[in-house]
Structure 1
Amino acid sequence: MATFALTFGILMVIMLGMALGVILMGRSIKGSCGGLNAIGDSDQCLVCSKEIDPNSPLRERLECPRAKKMLERAQMDSKAV
């Protein structure tokens, strides 16, 4: 039980430190580049606006109906903001 409490406490301190770092730096949390951005038909990443490699292997791996639906939802959310 003591090992669990110690481990839990250490993880909470680490998470608090990361949260305070994000808050004090004034930055917003962003998604990563690639992933679903790579399967869209757009020329630029939704997150960082860099050009997307048209020959990315992710395009082939992620071309499924579920991934396309997630991409459409992400694009609708970005237009609404």
Structure 2
Amino acid sequence: MVLPRQHARDIWDITPASWASTMAYAHQLTAHLREIHQPAGPNVIQSNGTAATQTVWHLHIHLVSRWHGDRCGPIWPA
């Protein structure tokens, strides 16, 4: 999970500069996760508002290492 240094409630509450640095760190971290876990691919998930399943009111990004046939299953409906 990646969080910005300054509090932001959601994507509409973060400055462009803070968003850019947060995403740059997420990009670096996915490279490390790839080296360590060797996944088939990652999900990079960031949700905003209750309709999008946001339940924690501090902007954050989930980095989820994925493998074919893992227990997470598809994140989008067919």
- Work out whether the TM-score is over 0.5: no
Higher strand fraction: Structure 1 or Structure 2? 2
> Which structure dedicates a bigger proportion of its chain to helix?
1
TM-score, L = length of structure 2: 0.29
TM-score by length of 1: 0.28
Higher RCO, 1 or 2 (CA under 8 Å, sep at least 6)?
A: 2
